[in-house]
Amino acid sequence: MEFFDTIDALEAKLPEDVLVLPAHGKPFRGVHVRLEELRKEHADKLDILLQNAGQPRRVVDVFDDLFGNFAGGGRGGGRGTGGAAEWCRRTGASRRPWPFPTA
């Protein structure tokens, strides 16, 4: 929810030709194209999460849904996965409680 709102706000405030200096990778122009890529990527991952939400799963069980072949997950992966699951709960996309049952 907040992620998509942030993308909308950035698109409204940033000119298309602004120079982006990312933490990883080379500087680039074309921020609106990149924001749309991020929006689509996150929406696609949330769709996968919802398609696989038919049974109780732990955060670690959905790492592959969100991150592909993501060995170990790490702390950041857990936060990202938990955030995605919370988005599903808040928007009503999933009726499962969060945290998802671990049984």
Closest by CA position to 48, among listed 66, 73, 67, 70: 66
The Cα 4–Cα 54 span in angstroms is 25
Domain boundary assignment for the chain: 2-91
Given pLDDT bands bounded at 50, 70 and 90, which one contains residue 20? Answer: very high
For 28, phi and psi rounded to 5 degrees? -150, 165
Identify the residue with better confidence: 54 or 12.
12
Q: By the 8 A CB rule, do 84 and 49 touch?
A: yes
Share of the chain above pLDDT 90, in %: 30
Angstrom distances, CA of residue 39 to CA of 8, 34, 81: 9, 9, 16
pLDDT tens readout for residues 27-77: 999 999 999 999 998 888 888 888 877 777 777 777 777 777 655 545 445
